[in-house]
Structure 1
Amino acid sequence: MKIASYNVNGINGRLEVLLKWLKEANPDVVCLQELKAENHKFPKLAIENAGYHAIWHGQKSWNGVAILSKTEIKQLHNDLPGTDDEFTHSRYLEAFTNGVVIACVYLPNGNPFPGPKFNYKLRWMKRLQEHADSLVNKDLPVIFAGDFNVMPTELDTYKPEKYVENALFRPETREAFKTLVAQGWTDAARTLHPDKRIYTFWDYFRNAYGRDAGLRIDFFLLNKNIAPRLQHFEVDKHVRGWKATSDHAPIWITLADQ
């Protein structure tokens, strides 16, 4: 089974890019982030014509997450469990499909640091930790996939000294991510490529893609039940070089049959 994640940075504005990539990569399941579209503006027909069922949780101009699958999808959550109204920002979607619980994550950016956006980011990560802790030891396969807006180590950025005061690289953010993974989650990319510089994002400015001045901020985290099935991790870096494309590249994993 092939599972992918892609921050599309505006699904309608980049629909042609998304459909081209779906046809080329042919994933079984896809998590999408940063739809930037209200629910009624999600391109349902185009996605169905591409061969996918879809569920989504949109928001005007910002955020938004979706899960696509070649088989039927049962939605489980469209927000992180809890009672804090500030978390209704279209950043989390959880579903069951292909025999796997898939959680699509679009974690807050948190900049500028310091400030209320950074505080909100840490609160959001705390709430994610609490929910993830209830899933990591489940006797069923669970995967968190998406844009986590964190660079866990210096290996995950082309120039660590540039990001010392950036919310994505702050010690508080990195520690929160470390705490999450330490629950027992498997970071697919780092598990298969422990010493490799892997980037999933290149800024639009200063020819970042051409210089390979990238960041790794998109992840797959696998719970204990499904981690032994992990076979392969890849970044479709070439998609970042396409015309009118996102500043992220799609990432994907393959899993052995159960």
Structure 2
Amino acid sequence: MIEVRAERSSGPRRVRIIGVGPGDPSMVTVEALSAIRSVAFFVVSDKSPRGGMPDPLVAARGRLLDVHLGYDPVVVRIEDPARERRPERTGTPQEYEAAVEAWHDARSMAYEEALLAHDGDAGFLVWGDPAFYDSTIRILERVARRGSLRLEIDVVPGISSVQLLAARHRIVLHEVGQALHVTTGRRLREAVAQGQDNIVVMLNRVIDLPGLEDWWIWWGGNLGTASEELVAGRVTDVLPEIEAARDRARDAAGWVMDIYLLRAPDALDAPAAPGAGEA
């Protein structure tokens, strides 16, 4: 548990950051289920574009609550602040970090407003696990530091897509004694240049693997959902199949979140067989 105290306070507010797994309601842990049932309301960021289609992940969270609660929960939707994504404004690491910093600050103010407007313990449902490429903890700590609220932040872990990828493909994520490097699609090139040869890659806008054609890949899209897709094999052989699977997942769900393990040929114990989980 992380306790963040602010100087100006009207009393502690408990905020529960709850990892709810990759999407299947059956993958919510017993601890997470208890946390879900303990809060007075949920704060959900809605990324629907103005005048556009509803945010499918908001709907997915709603379905999860329908499964696990016997009543209609109080769900406070906040319009997620716009984030700078234009390549010409986020091309360098410094520009990217500045864009994320501004987005986090705007989101923290929206969270603060929601917490001030509602009484009782609040729940934030985090896809997968809050420890993997999610900033809810950081953003709520920022809320507390501003001083209008004294927050007691409770983090409940969830099953991550990293774990589910390995389970679905029936593999261990590393060979015996081998290291595992976890990064984002944006920083994959950097990891390869550093000599990493066993890499889990998350947050992929595209699958861009030039120069890695002889590597092996275990890929999963929308893991733990009805639109789940799996592909495994040598990159040069299966990349078109992965692109087709991404399109199917997006068409079926309205979104695609994928993750994959990349392993260099010389890092394989048995290069002739990428694993038993290819689809």
TM-score (norm 1): 0.32
- CA radius of gyration, larger in: 2
Higher relative contact order (CA 8 A, sep 6+): 2
Structure (1 or 2) with the greater helix fraction: 2
TM-score, structure 2 normalization:
0.30
